[in-house]
Amino acid sequence: MSLVKLTIKGISYSQTQNGAYALILNELDGERKLPIVIGAFEAQSIAIALEKEIKPPRPLTHDLFKNFAERFDIVVKQVIIHKLVDGVFYSSIICERDKIEEIIDARTSDAIALALRFSAPIFTYKNILDKAGIYLKSNPNPSADPEADEIDSILSNPQTFGLSEEAKSSGSAYASYSLQELNVLLDQAVLNEDYEKAATIRDEISKR
């Protein structure tokens, strides 16, 4: 079976599962997307790895794993999403130490969080992408395809990271703060290890 390389398109808050996030992977040489529902902690860890400007004062679990692996000369070479059963994706982490390759079973969210930290490529098999891959296009008639509307809804609200319903509807809970105040709040949130808040403040700063 041929492997297909994937890139990370983004993380969106899931409107259909409370407290869950949707990780959207994109095939490198195509238009199909592979949506994977992940938990809030894993979404936070992946988002921090994607956003280089947020530096946790202490290592998160995946950072600790990377430090541990590097100390013992273990390198993550690649991650393969190799199986899909009843809507659940199964992944393997391909590691190498002293030119000896090992395969470690892992949850897909953990595997991707580590792949980002090791700058390792992410793959899946073509048959999995054929089965679970989707094309995301705007729907001219919303009532005609509720499933497509649901996907569009998930992707239209990226990285809300725990905002209240009021904050979501108003656009941002920090719209009234000055840029200087936002930078102070961002530093405080990182020091307090409140990464959900930090990500929200960072989004508001980026918008400015």
Q: pLDDT of 125-175, one tens digit each?
A: 999 998 888 886 544 454 455 444 544 444 344 333 333 343 444 445 777
Interatomic CA distance for residues 139 and 127, integer angstroms: 26
In this predicted structure, the answer to whether residue 22 has a pLDDT above a threshold of 50 is yes
| Mean pLDDT over the full length of the chain | 79
Is the CB of residue 33 less than 8 Å from the CB of residue 23? no
Q: How far is CA 155 from CA 92, 186, 189, 190, in A?
A: 27, 25, 26, 26
State whether residue 15 is helix, strand or coil.
Answer: coil
Q: Count of residues for the chain?
A: 208
Q: What is the pLDDT of residue 115?
A: 96
Which of 6 and 190 is assigned the larger pLDDT? 6
pLDDT greater than 60 at residue 181: yes
Average pLDDT (27-54) is 86
pLDDT tens, residue by residue, 62-80: 999 999 999 999 999 999 9
CA pair distance 162, 139, nearest whole angstrom: 28
What are the start-end ranges of the H helices in 72-194? 108-117, 126-132, 146-155, 165-170, 179-191
State residue 19's pLDDT score.
Answer: 62
**Residue 172: its pLDDT value, please?**
57
Taking the C-alpha atoms of residue 17 and residue 15, their distance in angstroms, rounded to an integer, is 6
pLDDT of 114 above 90: yes
8 A C-beta contact, residue 3 and residue 123: yes
- Please tell me the distance from the alpha carbon of residue 44 to that of residue 126, in angstroms, as a whole number: 28
The pTM is what? Answer: 0.66
